[in-house]
Structure 1
Amino acid sequence: MQPLDKRRTTVVGVAALSLAAIALTTPAHAATTITVAADGSGNYTTIQAALAAASSDTVINIKPGTYHGQVSVPSSKPGITLQGTTGNATDVVITGNTPQSTAGAAGSATVLNMARNTTVKGMTIANTYAAHDSQALALYAGGDRQVYRNVRLLGYQDTFLSWGGTGSSQVRQYVYQSYIEGAVDFIYGNGALVIDSTTIRSLDRGSTNNGYITAAATNSRNPYGILITRSTLASSAAARTVALGRCWHAGGAADAIGQVLIRDSTLGAHIRQTGAWQDMGGFSWKTCRFSEYNNSGAGASTGTSDRPQMSSATAANFTPQKYLAGSDGWNPVQ
């Protein structure tokens, strides 16, 4: 075997060192950043204009202000981040007043987010339409692997929809340290949705029936639907007048066997003891998969027969990580 050419080895070594030096001194690719300001001090005055100009993985910083009209994030723009610049969710308000009766679910949503891998944080999303005759969405979450942190979702009926379309196709969303408000079915859909460390406030309708918090339509082939964990269920409504949820067989689909678990949370006195889970559309709540685990507070179960409790052994497989893992191991849990 011929000995190695030392001169060639030296040249190769210098080249390798030079490449290493370049790699160390070249900055990593930075995400494109766009600033929105209603007062004209940013790149755009509307969020939708910024989204139209944005490419995938763009960070859109939103300065304080009230922004009217629908914000739509299309599925063709994954990885977008929408964030308020102050970190105070009340400083940035996206608001609309469109009911589902005139525009459909997607058209009524103040924010329609259909993109994968998006992050929304530090803002309020509101639909101020509060008539009792129509749903009116604040947020329609239709993309997979979406994260919402420090957001306020305000509505009356159908505030927050997690929806992956018909059949067993499922999207995943994680909501953390946020606030969700409504009266009727205001957290609903067929997605794998985890609501963690969040305040969920039921509005007072001044009735002996002050509404329903959830309306799950989880496909029977999907083990996980809506999980509310480490959260607080609050209201100024009268004691025992708010239901935890009802069984939504979307479109009358027999295989929409909703799954909801409320665990490790504090439940206010407004939660019903009898009738905590309700029928809907001719389907008994017992056709769905409703349960609780390790809750506390005045509204926690006192042992009534219609407050199913999950066992500790089963609860070990119903964690936020399990709900969101899917086939790719996604884990945004804080």
Structure 2
Amino acid sequence: MMLMMAAAAAMALAVPGGGAPGTTTRPVLSHTEARPFTPENYFRYSGLYAAPVADPWRPRPIATGRPDYLVGGHGFTTVQEAVNAAYRDGGAARRWIGILPGTYTGTVLIPAGSPPLTIFGLGRPADVRLEFTVDATITPAAWAALVNADGRYAEGDPAWPMFQSCATKTSATAGLCATVVWAQSTDLQLRGLTITNTLLDTVDRGTHQALALRTDADRTQLENMRLISRQDTFLANADDVTRIARVSVRDSYIEGDTDFVFGRAATVFSDTHFHLVSSRKASGGVVFAPNTAPNYPYGFLVIHSRITADAAYQAAPTGFLGRAWDQGASATGYLPGITPNGQLVIRDSLIGAGYNTVTPWAPAATTARPFAARIDEGRDLNDVNYNRLWEYRNRS
């Protein structure tokens, strides 16, 4: 019995982060503390952050069949044309857009007010590719000229207001408009696609946001997807910062090097592979940057997933699992209870080599707020004076 207990203790120590409560730089949840962090709770509420409403969402596997709209072959030439057609047909019933294997170059804007859409690949995800090269450092005018070089957005089109919201920005750069696919519609489903921002390694290791996918609305589902970029690959967002948005990601692959999974939405990633690459940024890469409302307990949940890094990171393990975004606080610094305070639990997952095992969480992105977690008995997991980035029962 003593040998069995010793073996169990050794196994616990081998698990990344060790046992609860962990350390101030690598906190670990106890079994009791981990109980609330389930997909059911992350998807339980909708409405205002200030007054959440019980509205359980139980996303089922995405069903596909004969598409209502076909892209490729003798169908629509672009995905945008099919989205526009579905929007104009309207109604509350779900509509299916099927995409034949091929490479479809250009952006896709999916406006609010679209009927529930399922956009899916008719082939392997690697063979159905939505691609474009766009860098957030360009001006809004340059962004407009770039994404609309083929005239795919015109006044009167369903996506015109989305296009104009970026084209007419008064900021110096395009910022988060620099994305290949941008969706503002509720009940959107994406399945079996590869979305790549092909900026990739053509730029230096500096700040070059280059999103593959941005989602802004409630009840968004991703399944069997491949999202590829370097910085800011996937933004799981809430367009209205006062309201809850929920996102489900299953059986997918996400690749990048800096904050490549980020945002405000209550998002559950299950059976998903996150891969940190060194081809542009050789050290200090970051996977997650949640931006959760400060008084809301559910940001990102990663469960039954894999977090890996390439050979260069494995040789020199400087990768970070994540950091808080602290969006909007560059001038003020972090303001407890006011600034978003990213929440994330990584549980029951594999964390591969390449990550800093002592300090896996980096200082906050916008404010450089040093990472600090509570490890005292009876700790408040939502204390706004501390970080909310946790692990539970992971393995290496």
Same fold, judged at TM 0.5 (above) = yes
* Residue of structure 1 aligned with 2:371, choices 266, 285, 289: 285
Residue identity matched to 1:63:
L
* Residue of structure 2 aligned with 1:109, choices 179, 182, 189: 179
Q: CA deviation at 1:241?
A: 1.4
Counterpart in the other structure of 1:51: 83
Partners of 1:247 and 1:284 within 8 A in 2: no
Counterpart in the other structure of 1:34: 69
Deviations 1:206-231 (A, max 9, x none): 86624000111101121100111100
Aligned-partner SS, 1:285: coil
Partners of 1:120 and 1:185 in 2: CA distance: 22
Alignment CA distance shift 1:100-1:78 (3 Å)? farther
Q: CA deviation at 1:134?
A: 1.2
5+ long unaligned stretches in structure 1: 1-29, 298-334
Partners of 1:73 and 1:220 in 2: CA distance: 29
Q: Which has the higher strand share?
A: 1
* Residue of structure 1 aligned with 2:360, choices 276, 289, 314: 276
Partners of 1:159 and 1:99 in 2: CA distance: 12
Partners of 2:240 and 2:319 in 1: CA distance: 29
Q: CA deviation at 1:285?
A: 2.4
Residue identity matched to 2:188:
T
* Residue of structure 2 aligned with 1:248, choices 325, 332, 354: 325
Deviations 1:185-214 (A, max 9, x none): 000011101111011100024866240001
Aligned-partner SS, 2:126: coil
Counterpart in the other structure of 1:296: 395
Q: CA deviation at 1:247?
A: 1.5
Q: CA deviation at 1:79?
A: 0.7
Greater Cα radius of gyration, structure 1 or 2: 1
5+ long unaligned stretches in structure 2: 1-64, 144-173, 373-385
Q: CA deviation at 1:288?
A: 2.3
Counterpart in the other structure of 2:170: none
Deviations 1:59-110 (A, max 9, x none): 1010011001101111110311100112x10110000110112242442110
Q: CA deviation at 1:143?
A: 1.2
List aligned pairs for 1:176-255, cutoff 5 A: 176-205=250-279, 209-236=283-310, 237-239=312-314, 240-252=317-329, 254=335, 255=339
Q: Does residue 175 of structure 1 match 2:232?
A: no
* Residue of structure 1 aligned with 2:198, choices 128, 145, 149: 128
Partners of 2:136 and 2:280 in 1: CA distance: 24
Q: CA deviation at 1:31?
A: 9.4
TM-score, normalising length: structure 2: 0.64
Q: Does residue 266 of structure 1 match 2:350?
A: yes
Paired-residue identity, %: 32
Ranked by relative contact order (alpha carbons within 8 Å, sequence separation 6 or more), the top structure is: 2
Partners of 2:209 and 2:263 in 1: CA distance: 13
Residue identity matched to 2:313:
A
Question: CA RMSD of the aligned region, Å?
Answer: 1.9
Alignment CA distance shift 1:46-1:166 (3 Å)? closer
Partners of 2:235 and 2:262 within 8 A in 1: yes
Aligned-partner SS, 1:181: strand
Partners of 2:219 and 2:243 in 1: CA distance: 13
Deviates most, 47-56 or 211-220: 47-56
